[in-house]
Amino acid sequence: MDALFRQIWRGTQQGLQRSTMVAHASVVTLTVLIIINAAYFFQHRPLVEVDALWLQQAFPSNFALVKQMAQALSYILPTDFVMGILYQVWHNHDGHSAGLLGMISQTGWWYYYPVAFVLKTTLPFLFLSFASLGWAAYGLIVKRDRRFLALLIPFAIYTVFVLFAHIDIGVRYYLPAYSFLFILGGALIDRMIGSRRAHPAGLIIAAAVLGGIGIEAVRAYPNQISYVNQLRRHRCKLPQRLNRPDQKESRRKLAHRN
């Protein structure tokens, strides 16, 4: 979607004809479809009885429509890919038992992923992320540099989407947003290194940020999944799923047995 948006935006900026823009968008769409199908080895199996039974249980009021949609999409996209998307839709609607900072909820909290992002991101990259977002906002609003829209819009859309999601079981659900932060952070570091006005301070800051990220990566090894940065109040490391109640229950049962 980001690549498609960038092609359309670039075409409007360069004054390309509509037919050229449509051709570019078609190439991007076709490329994405080929990549998705290749990941599933171009398998387009028909819906089986187990699939239909699950669809009926998950979408009882719209079963016929959802089944027809899944069958139609399975000609273009792998059936397992389509069923996976439908599963995530059902999962998000049903929610998932989750814990955050001592609280338990079935539908989660809108601020779960901001908290998870702040706690489970290395401080150097957290600093770089906020700095690059501020730099991009400044470039867009003050300098009218619309190139930042290609990164800020999809980042904002995905962030708003996860804020209102009901599957708060790990920061991994927010990882797609990191890709835009990587690009913005890299562009900001490149600007600091190449800027004559900020040199050599920019070079020192860039080296400190990159070095800090590397040091934190080494420090987290081999417990990257349970990593929590220095903003935590206690020395004990929180689990990746931020105190999921099912993990608490498992530990309680194990302690009772012992």
**Confidence at residue 199, expressed as pLDDT on a 0 to 100 scale:** 72
Of 55-59, 61-65, 139-143, 237-241, the poorest mean pLDDT is in 237-241
Express each pLDDT in 128-160 by its tens digit: 999 999 999 999 999 999 889 989 999 999 999
This prediction's pTM: 0.77
233: confidence class by pLDDT, cuts 50, 70, 90: low
Percent of the chain at pLDDT exceeding 90: 68
pLDDT reading at 243 higher than 70: no
**Long-range contacts (CB closer than 8 Å, 24 or more residues apart) made by 228-232:** 228/119, 228/120, 229/119, 229/120, 229/121, 229/122, 229/123, 229/126, 230/123, 231/118, 231/119, 231/123, 232/119
**Confidence at residue 15, expressed as pLDDT on a 0 to 100 scale:** 56
Beta strands in the chain (DSSP E): 98-100, 103-105
> Domain ranges in the chain?
1-39, 41-94, 100-220
Residue 258's CB is within 10 A of a number of other CB atoms, namely 5
pLDDT reading at 221 higher than 50: yes
